[in-house]
Amino acid sequence: MWNKNELTQKLGIAYPIIQAGMAGGVTTPELIAAVSNAGGLGNLGAGYMQPEQMKQTIQKVKALTDQPFGVNVFIPEIPEVSEVDLEKANEWLRPFREELKLKEPAVGKPSTALFEQQLEIIIEEQVPVCSFTFGVPSKAIIQQLKRENITLVGTATTVNEAMINEEIGVDMVVVQGSEAGGHRGTFSIPFGEAMVGTMALVPQTVDHIGIPVIAAGGIMDGRGVLAALTLGAQAVQMGTAFVTSLESGAKKQHIESILNSTEDQPQITSVFSGKPARGIQNEFMTKMAPYEKELPSYPVQNALTKEIRTEAAKQDRPEWLSLWSGQGSRLSKRLSARELVVGIVSQVNQLVR
Amino acid sequence: MWNKNELTQKLGIAYPIIQAGMAGGVTTPELIAAVSNAGGLGNLGAGYMQPEQMKQTIQKVKALTDQPFGVNVFIPEIPEVSEVDLEKANEWLRPFREELKLKEPAVGKPSTALFEQQLEIIIEEQVPVCSFTFGVPSKAIIQQLKRENITLVGTATTVNEAMINEEIGVDMVVVQGSEAGGHRGTFSIPFGEAMVGTMALVPQTVDHIGIPVIAAGGIMDGRGVLAALTLGAQAVQMGTAFVTSLESGAKKQHIESILNSTEDQPQITSVFSGKPARGIQNEFMTKMAPYEKELPSYPVQNALTKEIRTEAAKQDRPEWLSLWSGQGSRLSKRLSARELVVGIVSQVNQLVR
């Protein structure tokens, strides 16, 4: 049986299909619960979430499903950003703010406080699965969460990063191929050196670590799921496929853009957040590209562009939104999350017959 | 049976495993014949070959196998390169030439003459399969070769390029994922926009064309072969895996570099040939990187660096060689081509059991 392995047993799920914990409002309680209720693993993208909102969302998920689900959090990064760099960035962003009638935002200093509060909630709420992106947590945090019987999932973009995750003690690791949409999880080398395609990354990782590997990047349907399992992964993580689902909280322009895109449109950019991410090429990306290397690091740049993105959605200007998408975008469909999971399972069942 | 389909029938091969027609001396008659004799399809990388040498090599292949094989040729490109640009490039290359005790080479004007002579030989020698890289040939050429019962194979790096290939009339098309080693086959858009991973590229292409798709990029073993077939490809094309085979004509430093590399070392560079290609990062790449955008286009830059690469191999300086490799390099093995093919076939047989 393609769906029974160490990972599905450990997570207590029927099918090795994980919905990525995408931050920024995509992962509604309805989406998470629909995926978990269909036999996959729904995940809350809590990376940017404030404690109270996060807690309420988790409670809402619990009200909608009695199946396991996960929460994804970001390992904090505290970059040094000078006043001069901040001023330069604000100057480059001024034309967008003017047209949207926005003021320059006050941007607070990044801290690790939010991350610590998020972990407390995960423990309090007894969330079954916790995943990390943008690095690995300390061994102390790993031990604390393990004592609470929380299953831990890391993120890697190279074989070496997967080995670092195994060494620190996570239970399983997502390997994110270069096809993946949204932010790159690279944390150990310059991101450009870690753009390894899923087809190459999965088998090489499987050969070098003992914990289960979850394949991510370019997987959109049953063909991709079975191919990833064939390469040695024990599950897949899919993001883009769920962004266009009916329960998705993604902005409607974002969903439309993915549904109408070709595979060469999602490109890597740092201009939205200060961290490389894959999204459908648009005017904000091309206009800001000349300044890309001089922009403040994540999460400062992310904070600087936040209102622009929110307001651009309200004013229906998709050309200034972050339209995160992986390279499998031509395969996207507008379906309920249940239909998506059920369709994938039946496609895999037909392929293995 | 995983190995029986329209493509294997059309090509008359037992297994859907194609050895890429890598130019530059890698594809010896012994390699090509070994792959074809093992039930795959060997290919001569004739891109840079002069007519007489090409003819002799083809005749040698025929002496070593009665099985089908192919020849790969390059669609000619005639860039405009000014004297000033040429002088600048020579100036940047001077330190390497001085240390290797080489003179500045006389570089002839690129022309289409070689390509036309190559096609004549393919017809004269009744080569069973002809593949094209760096574009599509004219409809007249397609028709001429088809009248000779030569099976034609195109190369694409996007869904749209695969559609262009189908429209022009080739029988099947290699889709080259971003993982692939050596030169990118991109011909319709800026190469950077066409870096689509194999996992995403194959199913999207299969959904949009009617001719068989051959998957390339990051495929190194039975897992990769079966994954690619699961995605909808009818065959795979493997380059890097054969570069390290015993029959390979690759320079020994090139083979050693691949065998000792990690998946993040093969990076994209244009500095060797003027065209983006994936090779293991070395000193020539890092030292020439600052001039990358100002170097003459392919094939002029290729001609300018040819002697440097040849002489660097002789003087055992791998840091100045083009060490083409895909991202699956950790999976490389030093085996005979027969052992490689037989091993893959038995691995796939075990996986499908």
Strand, helix or coil for residue A295: coil
Residues A119 and A53 in one domain: yes
What does the pLDDT read at residue A7? Answer: 98
Helix axes A29-37, A337-352, angle to 10 degrees: 30
State yes or no: cis peptide before B299, omega within 30 of 0.
Answer: yes
Report the pLDDT averaged over residues A169-197: 98
Is residue A352 in some structural domain? no
Overall average pLDDT of the A130-150 stretch: 98
Confidence of residue A274 (pLDDT cuts 50, 70, 90): very high
Number of cross-chain residue pairs from A and B with Cβ atoms under 8 Å apart: 147
d(C-alpha A157, C-alpha A214), whole Å: 12
Whether the CB-CB separation of B301 and B274 falls below 8 Å is answered with yes
Token representation of residue A58: 């988790």
B327: closest chain A residue by CA: A200
Backbone angles phi, psi at B131, to 5 degrees: -120, 155
Indicate whether A69 and A145 sit together in one domain.
Answer: yes
Q: Is residue A192 part of a domain?
A: yes
d(CA B290, CA B70): 38
> A19 with A249: CB under 8 angstroms?
no
Average pLDDT value for residue range A328-336: 98
Q: Which of B178, B206, B226, B264 to mutate to test the interface with A (most CBs of A within 10 A)?
A: B264
Residues A21 and A93 in one domain: no
Q: How confident is the model at residue B114 (pLDDT cuts 50, 70, 90)?
A: very high
Beta bridge partners of A279: A267, A324
Residues of chain A in contact with residue B198, where contact means CB-CB under 8 angstroms, are 197-200
Sign of CA dihedral B340, B343, B347, B353: positive
B286 and B261 inside one domain: yes
Structural domain that includes position B322: 83-108+250-330
CA–CA min distance B29, chain A (Å): 28
DSSP classification of residue A213: E
The arithmetic mean of pLDDT across residues B293-306, rounded, is 96
The stretches of A65-158 forming alpha helices (DSSP H) are 83-100, 113-124, 139-147
Q: Residue B252's pLDDT is what?
A: 96
Rounded to an integer, the average pLDDT of A291-299 is: 96
Instruction: Check whether residue A227 and residue A133 sit in a common domain.
Output: yes
What's the one-letter identity of residue B62?
A: K
Query: Considering only CA atoms, which of B93, B100, B176, B67 is closest in space to residue B131?
Result: B176
pLDDT at B76: 97
Secondary structure (H, E, C), A137-200 = CCHHHHHHHHHCCCEEEEEECCHHHHHHHHHHCCCEEEEECCCCCEECCCCCCCHHHHCCCHHH
Provide the domain count of chain B.
Answer: 2
Shared domain for B187 and B123, answered yes or no, is yes
Cβ–Cβ < 8 Å for B277, B270: yes
Q: What is the identity of the amino acid at A71?
A: V
**Among residues of chain A, what percentage have pLDDT more than 70?**
100
Whole-angstrom distance, CA of residue A15 vs CA of residue A36: 10
pLDDT at residue number A54? 98
Same domain, B153 and B176: yes
- Give dist(CA B125, CA A119) in Å, integer: 70
Q: Are residues B43 and B130 in the same domain?
A: yes
Q: What is the mean pLDDT of residues A19-27?
A: 96
Chain B residues within 8 A of A194 when measuring between CB atoms:
264
Does residue A324 contact residue A22 with C-beta atoms inside 8 Å? Answer: yes
Determine the residue type at A123: I
pLDDT score for B353:
85
Partners of residue A351 in chain B, C-beta under 8 Å = 230
pLDDT bracket for residue B206 (50, 70, 90): very high
Domain C-terminal end among A247, A267, A295:
A247
The mean of the pLDDT values for chain A is 97
Nearest to A230 among B177, B330, B351 (CB): B351
Residues A17 and A125 in one domain: yes
Q: What is the pLDDT of residues A41-92, one digit of tens each?
A: 999 999 999 999 999 999 999 999 999 999 999 999 999 999 999 999 999 9
For residue B241, the chain A residues in CB contact (below 8 A) are none
- Greatest alpha-carbon span in chain A: 62
Record the tokens describing residue B167, joined without a space. 């429209």
Q: Residue B109's pLDDT band (boundaries 50, 70, 90)?
A: confident
Instruction: Examine residue A346 and state whether it is found in any structural domain, yes or no.
Output: no
CA B61, distance to chain mean position in Å, is 18
Residue to substitute from A264, A331, A351, interface B, most B β-carbons within 10 A: A264
CB B352, CB B345: distance < 8 Å: no
Specify the pLDDT at position A353.
85
Residue A14 included in any domain: yes
Q: Which residues of A touch B177 (CB under 8 A)?
A: 197, 199
pLDDT digits (tens, 9 = 90+) for B27-74: 999 999 999 999 999 999 999 999 999 999 999 999 999 999 999 999
- Domain presence at residue A239: yes
**pLDDT tops 90 at residue B1:** no
B38 and B178, same structural domain?
Answer: yes
Question: What pLDDT, on a 0 to 100 scale, did the predictor assign at position A107?
Answer: 87
ipTM over 0.90: yes
Total count of residues recorded for chain A: 353
| pLDDT of B225 strictly over 90 | yes
DSSP B141-192: HHHHHHHTT-EEEEEESSHHHHHHHHHHT-SEEEEE-TT--EE----SS-GG
Same structural domain, B240 and B167: yes
**Residue A273's pLDDT band (cuts 50, 70, 90):** very high
CA A234 to chain centre: 19
Q: What is the CATH number of the domain that holds B53?
A: 3.20.20.70
Same domain for A46 and A147: yes
The residue whose two tokens read 């994110």 is A176
